Chain A
Amino acid sequence: SQKIEQNSEALNIQEGKTATLTCNYTNYSPAYLQWYRQDPGRGPVFLLLIRENEKEKRKERLKVTFDTTLKQSLFHITASQPADSATYLCALYSSASKIIFGSGTRLSIRP
């Protein structure tokens, strides 16, 4: 069956360090993958999109990698700040034109 897993439910790191979140999938051949941020009491907000033929995408302090051989995407936040604390969701677009979300990783950045 098709499955998406995000590495952990929660991740706590020190301010200034790089946060790395993992998204693994099985039995998919996604055309592209997205990362969303969700704050408590709010809907997810789009951050980055990476296509299957792209290895890496950057936006300011954010970086996403996509390895279709490993079936894995990594999401990095460099120079992390307490304001980066949120839940981060990966989402895959399957060939069936459906988006499937991971369960999310709750990131906490401590000062």
Chain B
Amino acid sequence: DAGVIQSPRHEVTEMGQEVTLRCKPISGHDYLFWYRQTMMRGLELLIYFNNNVPIDDSGMPEDRFSAKMPNASFSTLKIQPSEPRDSAVYFCASSYRTGGTETQYFGPGTRLLVL
């Protein structure tokens, strides 16, 4: 398996532009997570899906952020309009639960810089 795939790996954009981050989870995993990582705040959970349905989006910072999972093999995180404070590394992770536990498998991340 290729693991969790994220694109693009790097994104530089100007304030006010729309940014779309993409994720392909590991086949067979039924949970998908979006995280944001910064030096100041560490790794923060933004939203997670179970079987393509958003379960908890309480970590989404504001209405400028939205996430979708149209099918089991694809998810997007969109920021519109982007702001410099959105600069961070965004990770997608997927997992499946077995035996009451789960292990998350992370993608390589998208490094976003908003100028």
Contact = CB atoms under 8 A, between A and B. Distances in A.
Interface in A90-111: 93, 98-104
Contact of B106 (A45, A98, A100): A45
Main secondary structure of the interface of B (DSSP, over half): strand
Interface residues of B, number: 19
B45 A43 contact: no
A34 B103 contact: yes
A98 B45 contact: yes
Main secondary structure of the interface of A (DSSP, over half): strand
Nearest to B58: A98
Contacts of B103: 34, 46, 49
B104 interface: yes
Nearest to B100: A31
Interface of B: 4, 33, 42-43, 45, 48, 56, 91, 93, 100-109
